Structure 1
């Protein structure tokens, strides 16, 4: 989901061992991190000890006060007062009122406002990226890169604001024409996950706005500070343009707010990013009211390397796709299918590469691997490793929790499982790579498609015929079908999303804008 600088793949293969010394942050201080001198930059984003988690033109919040934590040391960063049900009701009403104004603004002028949002994000890209690194746990270059994704989609949306529209078609009636008219759906609810707390909102928000919609955002509770900081940046742009702040509303909260959004008929489209399990519940609640949903759910992504693959591409690609963001991307490579003739060599090369990954504070620019997001994620990692062993797998690298503060686990490689082992068909949001041998193209294409999810996939080969078979109807059934690059690293110009239990939704580029509008034929 984040575009990969080429040099990062190279850096992943160089540096110190997993056991290298680590300069611990102030992990045992009793005060909030925001009050410590080294984190004073948080206040540049308008953050305080306790932050209001509701925005609808003004800031407030009458719900529960929660504390967010730094995954690198499990120390508290700051507090956020979440939305109550009453806050939610008030915010929806104000958002609907704001839509009446926003929908009247010409699309190119809406694009100009989105351009200004992109520029405002550019000005804060380093400090906001640092917050992503601190609160989510991904390495700094990824945190900054995620903010860049929001900037890029704003740039894309500016041009799109002058291009959206439908065709004029021939009519059967003499002297008539058929016109396809596109109008905004109204209020777009956006529920985002912890792993991409800026970019996914941006993909939805920028496109929804130029289409003439207003947005109501509920981010993950564990990344609430990021939601507040981003909304403060957007709110300033809206204020400068004398527009209602409720055009981009925020309600920080838990399952109660998410459920309210899913059941609310006033929410014309609900975009949900998260697990397949929760996504199914959301889809049912939205469908119960015949509403619209845009689902971006789980992925169980595979890389396939054939006997003619360039191993100098396969190894860094598999490494980056498997351990980037500590295995917490929806596009993370979780299965690696290797032709039997190259299996042992690739596994050995991967083990050597894994041993060189630099681990430490995610906001340290020299670090390439950070922590899992929560303690619960560590428990899920350990459970998956044990289950893999029970099902016949062999841990050839990693498999343990690292002896350091925070939620660090060893990036892990497991071999020897059957291709249809239940653990290999289960998405575990952790850096575990299951490696399999295969003999033929036909069987490995089938193995790629046999999981319930259908997000991303990739093959490494020099055979042009095989490449086109991979892209064709009997090839990969995923929404992202790559060739000689990793499963991760989607670009904004294309529509992002997957099939089957991944949900079928599409965000970002291409014609994804159509999901944020309704069509009429005149």
Structure 2
């Protein structure tokens, strides 16, 4: 580990952040954080207990009224200062993400830029929360519709985008006037902790943001979700866990936002510009080493262009540099852990056994870290597990179709509906696909759709609610209607 890496890690707090103070866990327990590129321990940090979680909620509840009453401009200015501090410390944030998650440094820098935009976007939205006023149809009264903060929120964030997922939830909540308890992922908690240090420096008052990392997620989360003082739950992660959290939230009829699993179709028609399609495919599949809910999972390619598309993709993928994300030119870092490697390999071997052709990759890399070769499979047959399950790894699986109707059927044949990608030069067909594909988002001739100014979220079992865009702040507001009689 370099001197810079050692110095950076030394500057990250090891405690829990409750009511404006960095404190140890009640039990004194800690857990280790590992670099997946080496499997070395890079930090030992406080391991929160359920009692710590409730102390954090106590702090959020106590701070709620004052934060809700804080002038929107003040909330806006704090978020803007946080954005500025992120820009000042962007290299530190990027390196920290690479160390604990493994993604190449260039991609980590991209996440800092993306995640920071939520701070800037919602700093601007904080001063634009509006209602409406009008006379009722009967002419007997004035209707006043206003927006109020939902109240204390509990956030559970995933390991794959540790900065962006924290800012995407915290920024709109603070803009709306809500206080927060956040449980960062045990695999990648350091980025959220470091970001919280920047929020503290930006002037976020004590109790408004509280951070309780733990190695026992469900034990900590359950009593917080069950507490009648909580008003909102937001979770990003697997559909399986999301279902359980929704069931828990139902007891208190909590507002919920759920960004869950994906099985994104990437459809390439016979009239597609293959240069665009290949470039889009590389971004949609291999961003974050394939560990993204928005990653293209099923490449549905017209039979007439499949061979050429596969040839170009295989050429690009076989040339990708594998290594520790801090090394120059690395495009594929480690997967998050050995379980992720085993899952990716299991899906590849199942597809090959069923008749798929392996054109490059397909091997576990033995040695330090949890690495899997970037892989391309062609002629993947219906029934293969890789077409049903979220891959979460650097594996590109190609199936073919003949007609537009068949492409639509194949794309929609999943319980998920987060994002889809379509490549065609026919504008009318593009519009038909917008209407036909059952996803909350779609990229038309582009491989990356995420933007802080756009609503992010899915349909079917990919979740409920939206993050980002004009819609994002309304997840943290409740609507109140008042009737004033006309005397």
TM over 0.5: yes
CA contact (8 A) 1:54 1:87 kept: no
Q: Any residues of structure 2 matched to 1:322-341 within 5 Å, and which?
A: 322-341=285-304
CA contact (8 A) 1:393 1:415 kept: yes
Q: Any residues of structure 2 matched to 1:474-489 within 5 Å, and which?
A: 475-486=436-447, 488-489=448-449
1:251 and 1:245 mapped to 2: Cα distance?
15
* Structure 1 residue 432, shift from structure 2 partner: 1.7
Measured against aligned partners, the alpha-carbon deviations of 1:272-314 in whole angstroms (never above 9, x if no partner) come to 0011111111111111221111000111111111111001111
The correspondence for 1:311, drawn from 271, 274, 286, is: 274
CA contact (8 A) 1:261 1:270 kept: no
1:257 and 1:203 mapped to 2: Cα distance?
22
State the match for 1:265 in structure 2. 228
State the match for 1:220 in structure 2. 185
Measured against aligned partners, the alpha-carbon deviations of 1:426-456 in whole angstroms (never above 9, x if no partner) come to 1121112220110011110111111111011
Q: Any residues of structure 2 matched to 1:247-396 within 5 Å, and which?
A: 247-253=208-214, 254-255=216-217, 256-396=219-359
Question: Given the alignment of the two structures, is residue 102 of structure 1 paired with residue 56 of structure 2, yes or no?
Answer: no
The correspondence for 2:364, drawn from 401, 416, 419, is: 401
* Structure 1 residue 236, shift from structure 2 partner: 2.0
State the match for 2:205 in structure 1. 244
CA contact (8 A) 1:178 1:521 kept: yes
1:346 and 1:189 mapped to 2: Cα distance?
44
State the match for 1:508 in structure 2. 468
Any stretches of 5+ residues in structure 1 without a counterpart? 1-32
State the match for 1:11 in structure 2. none
State the match for 2:393 in structure 1. 430
Question: Given the alignment of the two structures, is residue 517 of structure 1 paired with residue 477 of structure 2, yes or no?
Answer: yes
Question: Given the alignment of the two structures, is residue 92 of structure 1 paired with residue 57 of structure 2, yes or no?
Answer: yes
The correspondence for 2:455, drawn from 466, 482, 495, is: 495
1:134 and 1:153 mapped to 2: Cα distance?
23
Describe the shift of the 1:419–1:466 C-alpha distance in structure 2 as closer, same or farther (beyond 3 A).
farther
Q: Secondary structure at the match of 2:139?
A: coil
* Structure 1 residue 393, shift from structure 2 partner: 2.5
The correspondence for 1:445, drawn from 408, 413, 423, is: 408
Measured against aligned partners, the alpha-carbon deviations of 1:364-398 in whole angstroms (never above 9, x if no partner) come to 24212111011111111122122223333232221
The correspondence for 2:45, drawn from 52, 62, 80, is: 80
Which TM-score applies when normalising by structure 2? 0.94
CA contact (8 A) 1:56 1:250 kept: no
State the match for 1:42 in structure 2. 8
State the match for 1:132 in structure 2. 97
Q: Any residues of structure 2 matched to 1:60-71 within 5 Å, and which?
A: 60=23, 61-63=25-27, 64-71=29-36
Describe the shift of the 1:371–1:489 C-alpha distance in structure 2 as closer, same or farther (beyond 3 A).
farther
1:56 and 1:398 mapped to 2: Cα distance?
49
Measured against aligned partners, the alpha-carbon deviations of 1:199-219 in whole angstroms (never above 9, x if no partner) come to 011011111111010111101
* Structure 1 residue 129, shift from structure 2 partner: 0.8
Any stretches of 5+ residues in structure 2 without a counterpart? 483-487
* Structure 1 residue 520, shift from structure 2 partner: 1.1
Measured against aligned partners, the alpha-carbon deviations of 1:460-511 in whole angstroms (never above 9, x if no partner) come to 1111110111112xx111011111001x341111100111111122101122
Q: Secondary structure at the match of 1:161?
A: helix
1:443 and 1:328 mapped to 2: Cα distance?
28
1:183 and 1:347 mapped to 2: Cα distance?
52
1:451 and 1:130 mapped to 2: Cα distance?
36
2:417 and 2:200 mapped to 1: Cα distance?
36
Which TM-score applies when normalising by structure 1? 0.88
State the match for 2:485 in structure 1. none
1:431 and 1:263 mapped to 2: Cα distance?
38
More displaced 10-residue stretch of structure 1: 315-324 or 347-356 = 315-324
Measured against aligned partners, the alpha-carbon deviations of 1:209-268 in whole angstroms (never above 9, x if no partner) come to 110101111010011222221111112222xxxx63210110111321122333333221
State the match for 2:121 in structure 1. 156
